[in-house]
Structure 1
Amino acid sequence: MIRKLFLRSCALIVLLHGSLADAEQLRQYRNHELNESSLTIDTGDTSVTLTPLGEGALEVHYQRDGLKQLPSFAIDSGKPQGPKATLSEEKDRLIYRTAGLTAVIHKSPFHIDYQRGQQPLVGEELGFFANETMRGFRFTLKPQEKLLGGGERVLGMDRRGQRLPLYNRAHYGYTTESSQMYFSLPAVMSSNKYILLFDNSATGNLDLGASEEDVLQFEAVGGRTSYIIVAGDTYPQLIENYVAVTGKQPLPPRWALGNFASRFGYHTEQEVRATVDKFAEEDFPLDAVVLDLYWFGPDIKGHMGNLAWDKTAFPEPEKMMADLKERGINTILVTEPFILSTSERWDEAVANNALAKNLAGQPKRFDFYFGNTGLIDVFSEDAGDWFWNIYDGLLQQGVAGWWGDLGEPEVHPSDTVHAIGMADEIHNAYGHKWAQLLHDKQTAKYPERRPFIMMRAGFAGSQRYGMIPWTGDVAREWGGLQPQVELALSMSLLGFGYTHSDLGGFAGGENFDRELYIRWLQYGVFQPVYRPHAQEHIASEPVFHDRRTRDITREFVKLRYRLLPYNYTLAFENSQTGMPLMRPLFFENESDPTLIDYKDAYLWGDDFLVAPVTEADIDEVSVKLPGGVWFDYWNDDQYSGEQAQVDVDLETIPVLVRAGAFIPTIDDIATTRDYSSNTLTLDYYAHESAAQSSGYIYEDDGTTVDAFARGQYEKLTFAANRSDAGIDFAFNREGDGYKGMPGERAITLKIHNWQQAPTSIDADGAPLKLLQRKKDFASAAQGAWYDKRNDRLLVKFNWARGALKLAVKD
């Protein structure tokens, strides 16, 4: 062991200084300077600045003369200044402490360890290193420590032991294994409840104990030499502290949670209108139509960069979009950052200095799949102004949202010169800056409009620009469906709560696989964005398939809309705390380390546990449980313990509900434009293990920016208190209300797992009549009915704007 440590020390000295002769020059503390916002330490070869970014977060920035630095992309510059930290000095160390994180700075040899309270989290091994071709950091890993994150990868939830390329790159037709995909993140979440984020956009690698089992090494060819360490007492608090630094996802418009019609692609205005008509004819709700590249050209190749309507195929786009909007349907357009030299805007882009340059200072041209092209330099102010003017014109025509494709960028030659650096220095931040360009300029000009920005590549913190990522060109096969939960959960842990897949799969597939398609769309009800999308030789839209497929998927799409009060509340929670919409089971039970690796099921919000069916011909699914009692959403069967065996047929997937949960739903609607909670159903799952429980839904008008901060919202809160006498329910409200808010709501409370007819039911002291026949209950405005066959008690009552108490006695 001593020899191993000696050899490693020698290797590190070589890495840092170039020769063993420099061993005595290992980094040493010289002096420090403390001010209100940071601590700066001189170590001789470097200056090290520690800046509190929150009570549980620090940025640590190593700087050396002559070593180029780039601006931070990860840190939200709009956040308030971080809290003050206290400093104490001992003979051999400095201790820099915030309320939630302590940096123990050892003077000789210089390195930093981190603690949460008295609990050690992680420490620098060598810490910072830099030579002519590489820069980065090294940290010591603890035995049994698991590491999650790193962006989109199909490697299992725990990525320890992997060496992850940090270079956003398309992986067309992926299935059950991928180490490099569209959206890499130079960050990990540890099972020891810290997040380590390297604020560096350059090409590199994240070695998570692959080369040396107890060392985490970040390395890059250039970029900013800083990292951010975040700590939290729980995993949800850890995520909240992380997004407090990198930025919170703004609440999207409510229509973003609806059903999208999308394919590669709609060729004509007539085809768009016919598709929308088909959704209405088949009684499928619909909120958006996504137009792929045919909106600006008749062929796949040769037209990218036109960024204007092909008037032959779309002769009246403004009228088309206005007609769709009249039906409650929004138009989303694909755009790409490539301007082909054959496109109608090439000369304009060159004249406006919009393109990245070659080494001679001329527009950089290169060939890729779509033709000979240049790349818009989103880091340039001139390019940003030119690009935005095109978007603004389309917004004024009626476009509602943006789909940014190929933004890794898909092809990005290393000798491409951008306004702030070379391609390999900023490659991984390209999609991030593109999203920022759209978000910042749109919100500046249209401050009352919530942006919709869907992109497949970005950087840490891109969520603050409203970025909605998807998992790229997944294969249309069972192997493509199987990794989708892993991908979404891995991204959600690091701020990207809207990560979703092309429902049904995108790439390939010779023949339509009905079962695969249905299973994917069933899963989609419980993922953040509901968007079937695929190559067009097999229709992505359910309305174009056989009757049985339509009948099954219709009910699931309608369920998606019924659950809007629940789903919109998840979106609100994400905007406030970063809590993902899809959540891993280990959030529930930290004492079971096997749950960290579990990716076959997940929590949808607090109260649903969902296990997608990802294999053919399955009639039973084994589902791990995180503890507690759970009800089958479809039939009220109860499960507890560590495992549940759930029966399924083609019309169901395992969807379980937590005992004590309130699940809010509305009646069927055709589009979110018609959303209203004036008639609200609350399914309450009674069980003796949940003596007390509560829930809420968040309501606003679905469009107002910062509605919560402005007080233009309403929170409807529900609580249940079980005793030997029965259950007492309390219904309350918070907030100043919003435009269109119901003055009174007709509530149907469905109490599941109720074993007998109640002796009495009182609403604010007034008795409600227990009706004996189902049809009498159906026609009554108020009253109750005991469904003996299903062990359910149904109660109808009106809830005005005040608080209300409901007492149900055994």
Structure 2
Amino acid sequence: MMMKLKKTLQFCALAGAIVSNSSGATESRHYLEHRLEGNALTIETTDGEVTLTPINDDSVAVHYRREGVKQLPSFALAGTRRAPVETSIEESAGLITYDLGDLHAVIRKSPFAISYHRDGETILSEETGFFATETMRGFRFALAEGEKLLGGGERVLGMDRRGRRLPLYNRAHYGYTTESEQMYFSLPAVMSSNKYILAFDNSATGALDLGASDEDVLQFEAVGGRTAYIVATGDNYPELVENYVDATGRQPLPPRWALGNFASRFGYHTEEEVRETVEKFADEGFPLDAVVLDLFWFGPDIKGHMGNLAWDRGAFPQPEEMMADFRERGIQTILVTEPFVLTSSERWDEAVAAGALAKDLGGKPMRFDFYFGNTGLIDVFDERGRDWFWNIYDGLLQQGVSGWWGDLGEPEVHPSDTVHAIGMADEVHNAYGHRWAQTLFERQSAAYPERRPFIMMRAGFPGSQRYGMIPWTGDVAREWGGLKPQVELALSMGLLGFGYTHSDLGGFAGGEEFDRELYIRWLQYGVFQPVYRPHAQEHIASEPVFHDRTTRDITREYIKLRYRLLPYNYTLAFENSQTGMPLMRPLFFEPDSDPALMDYKDAYLWGNDFLVAPVTGAGIDAVELRLPGGVWFNYWNDDQHSGEKATIDVNLETIPVLVRAGAFIPTVDDMATTRDYSSENLTLDYYAHPASIESSGYVYEDDGLTVNAFARDRYTRLHFKAGRSAGGIRFDFRRDGGGYPGEPQQRNMHLNIHNWSLQPSQVRAAGKEIPVLESKRDFEQASEAAWLDQHANQLRVKFKWDRQALSLDVRH
């Protein structure tokens, strides 16, 4: 405790809390008294109240309130019921220490300021802290020398954003490439190399100044909104993410079909065209799980129809039958919707009568012009707007729609003088997509509690992930410059809870002619990103089935690989739902990795065991990438790599994909749709290496549809463990969970032990000897056997595994 107080007093000597009053003059803020309300600490100061509410042992929400300063509700904080945090308070003449467990908030009484401590170290300190004037409000925090700051939402600026001033206003950036400081999905939050996340619970137009104006100060400023922030901490970066999403909400597990292949373009004009496209996927042998319909489903052309949100029966005469036919084949239908209702649309009068639209300053429905026509905007902050909007969605769900694509939800055009139920446009702009997703998620969950929502949107706010929001990176240019920043965008979003951020595969905007190499490279990368959805303007087909034979053959194999990897990928989705860990992870998440990897954006971890580096330039035959430590195998040929860097040879059919030594990579048989998923035939590729004496892994399974399957014990986890010894290697297999409908009662296991050249003297499974065969043909015909594939340097073992724990021993 003395070390903490010493460091706090050192900080206090450097910083002071300054209050800005309405005249622009400044004065110090001072402590008056404090009280505990439950385990929350409220402090009265000469400038109003400050409440610190513990979220968990490592995280706290802080809310400053001054008389006359309007407050909005919290959008970022999850209303999750959780066990109370045990807190304690120590007070001295000049300090109050508020102890949450691992995190300590130290409040200096005069001048008032709060600093945050962990393990005896100061990790974050208010500089002048909260400020408010007639036109601006915000916070100032001190920055440490050498501290890196990541996050801030979708930006193309490099991973470390320190030294930047980031606009906080969700805004479309059409056709972006290798640089963008303002895009669709801004986040008023950062992750620090000092292992804290600082998120501002404020939805208003503003800026996040990360040492741009003052190199030692992080300043958040906004024109209005809630004067509150969240501090989350952790011993390491994965724990930090977990503590942050505990505060802002965990992403629910999506339906399994969300991890399949989507057919999508801007756009399908007729029912006949959609049906022909689906048939083309089947004819060409491509798996398919969903078809996405852009705005032509409700109108014959681009302009004048937005807000209809009803089938154009001329172009789509029998949509219910079409969707039912697709569902019979395991293919879901996703519709685009937008929050704008044009004055020319069939629903304008209906929306006005329902009071569903945001108002102008005279109290009438706000009207303004944008690309699609003269329009109003649904007020998702008003119960009447939410009711009206939801009734449309509910009708479409009853017709057979499976998922939603919410477009233009920044909102793309949002005049400042628009009046919403809880405030002006600039006060709530950045929470518009968040409240839209909340409406869909909560209403659908209430009406259809056994259906997992699918909600894809391009704008939101901290915490939007708890409403199942699946973001994409907007209208990226269809060129190499558009592919290059996609890893940076996905990683930056994943740090702050948005683990399903993905790109329009192949690029969306522009492109004069088809670039086969670019297209193949983008779709190869897509296998190892959260959602597999090629999408583009229609003058160049976005779907691989409409391209040349070489393109079809290469992309078909990659999409099939995506499906074979479903047990691995679905397990990543499960882990995200439990801990917030993103599916795409930066290399610096590895223990004891080089701190310089915080800046690295050319490669990433896909889950725990894959390391992937997209090829982002033309004519490349080798890629040099950084390694985070350990030994890695080339997924395509088993070459081994270690040290700080690796150079991977590639051709048009391969990109750098490495597998961690000691990893278990589970795969299943090919399938036409994720509905056909089964682990009855389960292959485990185990990557043996002397440096990995013991290792483990698991696969999570449920029926792909049941809501809260894990909490309801309607799941199975298959656990795998390997341990090397002088005499050989031992594998242990066990399962837990209550099971799920359709689960195999017995699994045909195919264990491939990579990097293994020793002929086994004995192989035993569950105490029974497995015959070791000499020929590949005999091995393939046997139901249980072992065979040393000397060419591949692999030992292959086939055995059966029922629901009981099982051990398999391989002796030299």
Partner of 1:672 in structure 2?
A: 674
Partner of 1:601 in structure 2?
A: 603
Partner of 1:254 in structure 2?
A: 256
Distance between the aligned counterparts of 1:537 and 1:345, measured in 2? 31
Q: Match of 1:30, SS?
A: strand
1:434-461 alpha-carbon deviations (Å, 9 max, x no partner)? 0000000000010000000000000000
1:393-449 alpha-carbon deviations (Å, 9 max, x no partner)? 000000000000000000000000000000000000000000000000000010000
* Superposition deviation, residue 698 in structure 1: 0.2
Q: How does 1:31-46 map to 2 (within 5 A)?
A: 31-46=33-48
Distance between the aligned counterparts of 2:391 and 2:23, measured in 1? 50
2:161 corresponds to 1:159: yes
1:625-678 alpha-carbon deviations (Å, 9 max, x no partner)? 000000000000000000000000000000000000000000100000100000
* Superposition deviation, residue 601 in structure 1: 0.2
Partner of 1:787 in structure 2?
A: 789
> Which of 559, 562, 567 in structure 2 is aligned with 1:560?
562
2:622 corresponds to 1:620: yes
Partner of 2:295 in structure 1?
A: 293
Distance between the aligned counterparts of 1:121 and 1:82, measured in 2? 24
Partner of 1:352 in structure 2?
A: 354
Distance between the aligned counterparts of 2:19 and 2:272, measured in 1? 67
Question: Do 2:380 and 2:436's aligned partners in 1 also have CA atoms closer than 8 Å?
Answer: yes
Partner of 1:428 in structure 2?
A: 430
Partner of 1:384 in structure 2?
A: 386
Distance between the aligned counterparts of 2:579 and 2:402, measured in 1? 26
Q: Which amino acid letter does the alignment assign opposite residue 130 of structure 1?
A: A
> Which of 466, 469, 492 in structure 1 is aligned with 2:468?
466
Partner of 2:3 in structure 1?
A: none
Q: How does 1:506-545 map to 2 (within 5 A)?
A: 506-545=508-547
Q: Match of 2:70, SS?
A: coil
Partner of 2:72 in structure 1?
A: 70
| Further displaced range: 201-210 or 117-126 | 117-126
Distance between the aligned counterparts of 1:50 and 1:589, measured in 2? 32
Distance between the aligned counterparts of 2:210 and 2:372, measured in 1? 37
Q: Match of 1:359, SS?
A: coil
CA gap 1:787/1:81 in 2 versus in 1, 3 angstroms: closer
Distance between the aligned counterparts of 1:9 and 1:553, measured in 2? 58
* Superposition deviation, residue 30 in structure 1: 1.1
* Superposition deviation, residue 785 in structure 1: 1.1
Question: Do 2:786 and 2:797's aligned partners in 1 also have CA atoms closer than 8 Å?
Answer: yes
Q: Match of 2:31, SS?
A: coil
Partner of 2:277 in structure 1?
A: 275
Partner of 2:755 in structure 1?
A: 753
Q: Which amino acid letter does the alignment assign opposite residue 452 of structure 1?
A: F
Partner of 1:502 in structure 2?
A: 504
* Superposition deviation, residue 591 in structure 1: 4.5
Question: Do 1:13 and 1:19's aligned partners in 2 also have CA atoms closer than 8 Å?
Answer: no
Question: Do 1:79 and 1:245's aligned partners in 2 also have CA atoms closer than 8 Å?
Answer: no
1:251-273 alpha-carbon deviations (Å, 9 max, x no partner)? 00000000000000000000000
Q: Match of 1:681, SS?
A: strand
Distance between the aligned counterparts of 1:321 and 1:72, measured in 2? 39
Q: Which amino acid letter does the alignment assign opposite residue 56 of structure 2?
A: G
Distance between the aligned counterparts of 1:148 and 1:401, measured in 2? 32
Distance between the aligned counterparts of 1:136 and 1:760, measured in 2? 69
Q: Which amino acid letter does the alignment assign opposite residue 507 of structure 1?
A: A
CA gap 1:619/1:437 in 2 versus in 1, 3 angstroms: same
Distance between the aligned counterparts of 2:777 and 2:429, measured in 1? 64
* Superposition deviation, residue 9 in structure 1: 8.7
2:105 corresponds to 1:99: no
Q: How does 1:662-741 map to 2 (within 5 A)?
A: 662-741=664-743
> Which of 105, 129, 132 in structure 1 is aligned with 2:131?
129
Question: Do 2:341 and 2:376's aligned partners in 1 also have CA atoms closer than 8 Å?
Answer: yes
Q: Match of 1:504, SS?
A: coil
Partner of 2:492 in structure 1?
A: 490
Distance between the aligned counterparts of 2:506 and 2:781, measured in 1? 40
1:597-638 alpha-carbon deviations (Å, 9 max, x no partner)? 000000000000000000110000001000000000000000
Distance between the aligned counterparts of 2:320 and 2:15, measured in 1? 67
Q: How does 1:763-802 map to 2 (within 5 A)?
A: 763-802=765-804
2:656 corresponds to 1:659: no
* Superposition deviation, residue 91 in structure 1: 1.1
* Superposition deviation, residue 80 in structure 1: 2.4
* Superposition deviation, residue 590 in structure 1: 4.2
> Which of 261, 265, 268 in structure 2 is aligned with 1:266?
268
2:206 corresponds to 1:201: no
Partner of 1:29 in structure 2?
A: 31
Distance between the aligned counterparts of 1:698 and 1:81, measured in 2? 26
Distance between the aligned counterparts of 2:393 and 2:209, measured in 1? 40
Distance between the aligned counterparts of 1:337 and 1:17, measured in 2? 37
* Superposition deviation, residue 78 in structure 1: 3.0
1:331-371 alpha-carbon deviations (Å, 9 max, x no partner)? 00000000000000000000000000000000000000000
Distance between the aligned counterparts of 2:236 and 2:249, measured in 1? 19
Distance between the aligned counterparts of 2:563 and 2:557, measured in 1? 10
* Superposition deviation, residue 81 in structure 1: 5.8
Q: Which amino acid letter does the alignment assign opposite residue 344 of structure 2?
A: T
1:283-323 alpha-carbon deviations (Å, 9 max, x no partner)? 00000000000000000000000000000000000000000
* Superposition deviation, residue 756 in structure 1: 2.0
Partner of 1:47 in structure 2?
A: 49
Distance between the aligned counterparts of 2:524 and 2:18, measured in 1? 55
Distance between the aligned counterparts of 1:591 and 1:285, measured in 2? 38
Distance between the aligned counterparts of 2:586 and 2:404, measured in 1? 29
Question: Do 1:102 and 1:117's aligned partners in 2 also have CA atoms closer than 8 Å?
Answer: no
Distance between the aligned counterparts of 1:776 and 1:455, measured in 2? 53
Distance between the aligned counterparts of 2:691 and 2:518, measured in 1? 37
* Superposition deviation, residue 777 in structure 1: 1.2
Question: Do 2:103 and 2:233's aligned partners in 1 also have CA atoms closer than 8 Å?
Answer: yes
Partner of 1:634 in structure 2?
A: 636
Question: Do 1:562 and 1:668's aligned partners in 2 also have CA atoms closer than 8 Å?
Answer: yes
Distance between the aligned counterparts of 1:598 and 1:678, measured in 2? 40
Question: Do 2:19 and 2:29's aligned partners in 1 also have CA atoms closer than 8 Å?
Answer: no
Identity in percent: 72
Partner of 1:319 in structure 2?
A: 321
Q: Which runs of 5+ in 2 are unaligned?
A: 1-10
Q: Match of 1:252, SS?
A: coil
Question: Do 1:36 and 1:84's aligned partners in 2 also have CA atoms closer than 8 Å?
Answer: no
2:552 corresponds to 1:550: yes
Q: Match of 1:104, SS?
A: strand
Alignment root-mean-square deviation, CA: 1.3
Q: Which runs of structure 1 show a deviation greater than 2 angstroms over 4 or more consecutive aligned residues?
A: 12-20, 78-82
Question: Do 1:589 and 1:627's aligned partners in 2 also have CA atoms closer than 8 Å?
Answer: no
1:81-140 alpha-carbon deviations (Å, 9 max, x no partner)? 641311110111000011121000001110001001212101000000000000000000
1:3-47 alpha-carbon deviations (Å, 9 max, x no partner)? xx9xx999x958556455x5xx31011111123231111111121
Q: How many residues align?
A: 801
Partner of 1:225 in structure 2?
A: 227
Distance between the aligned counterparts of 2:487 and 2:69, measured in 1? 40
